[in-house]
Amino acid sequence: MVRTGTTAGHIGETRDVETIQISGGRVIDPSQGIDRISDVVLGRGRVLAIGEGYEEADVVVDARGMIVCPGLIDVHVHLREPGNEEDETIATGARAALAGGCTSVACMPNTRPSIDSQGAAEFVVLQAQRARQANVYPVGAVSKGREGHELAELGALVAGGAVAFTDDGAPVASASLMRRALQYAKMFDRCIMQHCQVMELTLGGVMNEGFESMKLGLGGMPGAAEDIMVARDIRLAEITGGRLHIQHISTERAVELVAEGKRRGVDVTAEACPHHFTLTDERLRTFDSNYKMNPPLRTRADVDAVIGGLRDGTIDLLATDHAPHSREKKMRELDQAPFGIVGLETLIPIIALALIEPGHLTWPEVIRKLTVEPARLLGLPKGTLRPGADADVTIIDPDSPWTVDPAAFHSKSRNTPYGGWPVRARAHTAIVAGEIRYTLGGKAHESGATPAP
């Protein structure tokens, strides 16, 4: 393996003049229809070129046997700062993002206080700049204090850096507030991301309502609670011409509704999270709170419908809904434990296991849902390796068996249902703005690909 240069190991030093050649990988860039073995050359924080024949790079990263793609973008994470720094901070969450292969994340506003003002959005941006890990984009609250009554000052939030709006953690329950939010956000060409749930139907719920919840005697959250809100909001998007994004879609009917909305020309997109296409409500038989999430794990038919929606394009994006909670909180009784699981550091392996290995999606299709589509949703000039684009690059090792070990997570929290799962793919290297900020197992330039046998 060829290596030149001596500076790449010093993470954090200024690299403005450095050029990096990522050599011999399978370059997949859906924005340009590229899928071929090639080199990617970066310099001065930008993509310089895709192609062979660059010999003067300061640093050469051997990517033989690896996938090289635009930096992955996760549009749905919870970073818990300010207010719950014991669960996660912007710095630790942004580090976990890199370790999971995401060079950009959009964080939800359900912090304490919530991200409902220009200052709050600016705080997130500033903390992320200080951390110098993944790019972090704040998603502003739809309503003041996320209380669902009064519209937040969306224009001020945009000025503070907000890339979208949501009251996630809870839905915008009021139809009239949702209607106005869609109208206003349209003026800034931003989308409203909705946690679709009719709260009156899920009060006291712990898991999906159905055969399993009845058998276990646990409070149920009916799929209809999601379906009804999805139907309502698609109609509101239709009459306002606003942009609606359905978060963490989990039911068969909701997938059908989005497909139907798209056929009618409504500006609606949807995301799916790995847990909703890998796990069913039968897992709750263990009473393990790492199977407690909101929306809850559903039935096999729902899982199959989500996979179907990912296959046929009804579901545009993949996202984690990374929801860190300390061990202490998740150890409570099932009905007391908070909803949610961490997801960043298992994103690639679980997608590979559940979507790629069974043949549901190809790597280019998966990468499209984690690059081009999220960049489009948030209006970011990212998700591409076109010359001149930001030098955000993810290198994926697609085929080296390993076992998910929550103790090794960079996230502050460990609440995952995937601990101990045997998997094959993982993030290997993450480059942000032309800086090698993460490499699996240590120093930036000393752990390139294992040479092909």
Question: Least distance in Å: CB of 321 to Zn ion?
Answer: 4
Pick the closer one to Zn ion by CB: 70 or 324: 324
Q: How far apart are the first and last CA of the chain?
A: 12
- When binding is defined by CB under 5 A, the residue of 168, 212, 345, 392 that contacts Zn ion is 168
Closest CA relative to residue 22, chosen from 3, 9, 7, 35: 3
How many Cα atoms sit within 13 Å of 405 on the Cβ side?
Answer: 5
Choices 162-170, 281-289, 378-386, 424-432 (CB under 5 A): range interacting with Zn ion: 162-170
* DSSP states of 51-90: SS-----SEEEE-TTSEEEEPEEEEEE---TTT-TTT--H
Q: Segment 319-348, which members bind Zn ion (CB under 5 A)?
A: 321
Choices 133-141, 167-175, 198-206, 228-236 (CB under 5 A): range interacting with Zn ion: 167-175
Question: Least distance in Å: CB of 193 to Zn ion?
Answer: 9
Q: Which residues are catalytic?
A: 321
Q: Segment 213-232, which members bind Zn ion (CB under 5 A)?
A: none
Residue located via tokens 């239709």 = 238
Pick the closer one to Zn ion by CB: 106 or 449: 106
Question: Least distance in Å: CB of 50 to Zn ion?
Answer: 35
With b meaning 16 or more CB within 10 Å and e meaning fewer, what string describes 69-97? bbbbbbbbbbbbbbebeebbbbbbbbbbb
Q: Segment 347-386, which members bind Zn ion (CB under 5 A)?
A: none
Choices 8-16, 145-153, 168-176, 297-305 (CB under 5 A): range interacting with Zn ion: 168-176
Q: State how far the Cα of 239 lies from the Cα of 233, in Å rounded to an integer.
A: 10
Pick the closer one to Zn ion by CB: 195 or 426: 195
Does residue 62 bind Zn ion (CB under 5 A)? Answer: no
Residue located via tokens 């110098």 = 132
**What Rg value do the Cα atoms of the chain yield, rounded?**
21
Residues 6 or more apart whose Cβ sits within 8 Å of residue 293: 275, 321, 323, 339, 340, 341
Q: State how far the Cα of 326 lies from the Cα of 338, in Å rounded to an integer.
A: 10
* Cβ 452 vs Cβ 64: under 8 Å: yes
Residue with smallest beta-carbon separation from Zn ion? 195
Question: Least distance in Å: CB of 320 to Zn ion?
Answer: 9
Interface mask toward Zn ion for 282-321; x: CB under 5 A: ---------------------------------------x
Question: Least distance in Å: CB of 4 to Zn ion?
Answer: 44
Q: Segment 180-209, which members bind Zn ion (CB under 5 A)?
A: 195
Pick the closer one to Zn ion by CB: 15 or 276: 276
Question: Least distance in Å: CB of 379 to Zn ion?
Answer: 20
* Cβ 62 vs Cβ 429: under 8 Å: no
What is the token pair recorded at 98?
A: 């890199």
Number of residues that bind Zn ion (CB under 5 A): 3
Q: Segment 121-160, which members bind Zn ion (CB under 5 A)?
A: none
What is the token pair recorded at 268?
A: 């609606």
Pick the closer one to Zn ion by CB: 209 or 321: 321
- Residues interacting with Zn ion, by CB under 5 A? 168, 195, 321
